[in-house]
Amino acid sequence: MSAEAETLAQIREAVRSLCAGFPGPYWRALDRERAYPADFVRAMTEAGFLGVLIPEAHGGSGLGLSAAAAILEEVHASGGNAAALHAQMYTMGTLLRNGSEAQKRRFLPEIAAGRLRLQAFGVTEPGAGTDTTSIRTFAERRGDHYVVNGQKIWTSRAEHSDLMLLLARTAPKEAAARRSDGLSVFLVDMREAAGRGLTIRPIRTMLNHATTEIFLEDLALPAESLIGEEGRGFRYILDGMNAERILIAAECIGDARWFVEKASAYAKERVVFGRPIGQNQGVQFPIARAFAQSEAAKLMVEKAARLFEAGMQCGPEANMAKLLASEASWAAADMCLQIHGGFGFAEEYDVERKFRETRLYQVAPISTNLILAYLGEHVLGLPRSY
């Protein structure tokens, strides 16, 4: 076993051990109340897992995306949900790669230590959706500060985050040479902004992601809130989006593993007509197929992570990883629920909760159809579809 493989194995074992202290009843209670997993996030932070991608010079572990993916996969394979973890991992990358030295010195050590949370990512808008270049939130430069007006939606965990990465226009779309020009990224200190131009409203959804919409009305941001160069924000978040797709794909692999293991255990224990239901090929084969799908998808996730770590172009691989892994997890979820029958709908089995949670990844952070359109046009060279 290589040193890297041994490190990943140790990380996986440590995460599994920590997650054992947060079993099904913990997640069920949170889901029922739509509550934030504060104790779990605290434990993961204290164990150093949320700082895995932050360089050692800034208080983190300085490991690669493969380590982050392994952490998130194991959380989901253990029956938990890493939604409160993954945003900080990939959002932090924009600050790490494009922030000034002053910004990195100020924020990264605090994030690594858990004294600051960076879990909110303000990009999507009601009128733009995944057409990011069509956002209308505008940041106007006025002397030593910017004044921001606009609205964001599906900004998860804004109520539980200290900092938010915000994408806004700093030049009108009509004045841009390219659609992606004129967008800028800001690091918003929500502790100072709340009630002073920033309003957060929760959106209750079918799963516990602490989702919100955000209203920005004459919000004043210091000029030093700008990350990188003005007008180049779209390029800054693209790399983060590849990381996001890979990390979400890893979570889907974890979900698929959980469903396969849950279904296999039930198929061995459940006796109908005098024998375990797993003795029937009609039960065995769907489990085996779900297992094969998840193992194949995992290879693409691993390939995408390696390319990202090597600094190579990985857009096609990141998108295919998310596509294949989300489809594998959804197929496994459907299989697991079907095999459990009526018991699958009972809260105490956790199947219905995980079923709802993994369904999200057919839609977010990017829908399956948009990935297929991207692959068709940009990878296969097919005519652009409308």
The rounded distance, in Å, linking the Cα atoms of 32 and 207 is: 9
The rounded distance, in Å, linking the Cα atoms of 319 and 338 is: 29
Question: Which one from 74, 213, 244, 302 is the annotated catalytic residue?
Answer: 244
For CA atoms 189, 242, 152, 114, give the dihedral sign: negative
The rounded distance, in Å, linking the Cα atoms of 47 and 40 is: 11
Cβ neighbours of 65 (radius 10 Å): 25
Instruction: For residue 312, count CB atoms less than 10 angstroms from its CB and return exposed for 0-12, middle for 13-18, buried for 19 or more.
Output: exposed
The rounded distance, in Å, linking the Cα atoms of 284 and 260 is: 11
Instruction: Single out the residue of 99, 103, 94, 102 nearest to residue 121, CA to CA.
Output: 94
The 3-state DSSP class for residue 116 equals coil
Question: Phi/psi zone of residue 146: left (φ > 0), alpha (ψ -120 to 50 degrees), beta?
Answer: beta
Residue count of the chain, please give it: 386
Contact (Cβ atoms closer than 8 angstroms) between residue 357 and residue 207: yes
Rg of the chain in Å (alpha carbons)? 21
The rounded distance, in Å, linking the Cα atoms of 234 and 170 is: 12
Amino acid identity for residue 261 in this structure: E
For CA atoms 24, 26, 30, 32, give the dihedral sign: positive
Q: Is-catalytic flag, 244?
A: yes
The 3-state DSSP class for residue 245 equals helix
Q: Which two tokens stand for residue 22?
A: 């947060």
Would you name the residues annotated as active-site residues? Answer: 244
